[in-house]
Amino acid sequence: MQSKARITAIGTYVPEKKLTNEDLEKMVDTNDEWIVQRTGMKERRIAGDDEFASQLAYKAIEDLIEKYNKDVKDVDCIIVATTTADYAFPSVACQIQNHFNIPCTGAFDLNATCAGFTYALHLANNLITSGAHKKILVVATETLSKVTDYKDRTTCILFGDGAGAMLVEYDHENPSFLAAHMGTNGEGGINVYRTSFSTTMDGKALSDTGKIVQNGREVYKWASRTLPEGIHTLLGNAQLDIENINWFIPHSANLRMIESICEKSNISIEKTLTSVKYYGNTSAVSIPLALNLGIEEGKVKNEDTLLLYGFGGGLTHLGLVVKWNI
């Protein structure tokens, strides 16, 4: 179905507090050289003890409103991608509706972990293209620092906090969305998880800390194998070649993982945008952070063709080809 939805604005926010590699050296047995060699990360942003996912989301939306002179009062659906909501319920989406006093809108959170932002954009496109909605606010917001085990040297170096927001509006003449591809490998879910009510998975005992647990080697192998195949399928769906893509914007999980994916997909790392160096792995937020950095640095321009690809816990993934035409 031909898309009838256009991305019309973007906003982002990260907390002020920084967690540097030097800070981590004082917490666990690690060092700057080891972290950079394995992840490409130098810093992450960390929410305060009394700062939560909803508050980060508010500031990202306020950034969007200010930069693009947008009004959100007529938004008719709010979709929030998060795994670290303030509460089990009400949802962050409902908190956003209340905070901005949006009078007539649906609101819900979705959980597709690090693929959450591309999932939310894909859903927004389809809801608008189907005629069900006209103006959707898509938000990703995470406070991963609150669920990170800072005694685990293999995971505590990775995660940071932040938020990103986009407006998606009806526009049948100049749509943004060109193609999509999605997939799931549920049997790999045990390789990255955080427990809640259940402490077993498929009969296997889990580490019941309430913190993020990850088998980095297995996730790396899965992503390095799955994304090149997904990118090939996605480009086929869009009837494009890799040379037609101006910028590749994958989830910023780990720079070494991204380099492997680029090499196997014949994508130049110079055509790849990430937010990994100074923000770390922010899960669903990493793609809007990277895109916004690309815009601010003058790299991303109107009419550029972008390949966005989210992937993560589940294990799940979703890629989009979009025309950037704000």
Active site residue 251: yes
Catalytic residue list contains 104: no
- Check whether 16 has a pLDDT greater than 90: yes
CB within 8 A of 53, min separation 6: which ones? 82, 84, 85, 86, 92, 141, 142, 143, 163
Hunting for tokens 């509006």 — which residue is that?
169
Q: Which residues contact 90 (CB under 8 A, 6 or more apart)?
A: none
pLDDT over threshold 90, residue 208: no
Question: Looking at the predicted structure, is the pLDDT value of residue 1 above 90?
Answer: no
The DSSP annotation for 116-183 comes to HHHHHHHHHHHHHHTTS-SEEEEEEEEEGGGG--TT-TTTTTTB-EEEEEEEEEE-SSS--EEEEEEE
Residue located via tokens 């019941």:
208
Active site residue 281: yes
Q: How confident is the model at residue 11 (pLDDT cuts 50, 70, 90)?
A: very high
Q: What is the pLDDT of residues 57-108, one digit of tens each?
A: 999 999 999 999 999 999 999 999 999 999 999 999 999 999 999 999 999 9
Q: Evaluate whether 81 touches 113 at the Cβ level (below 8 Å).
A: no
β-partners of residue 166 are 10, 138
Identified catalytic residue from 21, 251, 292, 317: 251
Whether 317 shows a pLDDT value over 90: the answer reads yes
Q: Of 77, 114, 156, 262, which residue is the catalytic one?
A: 114
Contact 57, 21 (CB under 8 A): no
Percent helix / strand / coil, the chain, rounded to 5: 35, 25, 35
From 125, 191, 254, 281, active-site residue: 281
* 166/284 Cα distance (integer angstroms): 13
Residues 98, 154: Cα–Cα separation, whole Å = 39
Q: Which residue has the tokens 């649906």?
A: 106
The mean pLDDT value for 31-57 works out to: 97
Contact between 192 and 22 under an 8 Å Cβ cutoff? The reply is no
Query: Quick one: tokens of 247?
Result: 């910028």
Q: What is the pLDDT of residues 267-276, one digit of tens each?
A: 999 999 999 9
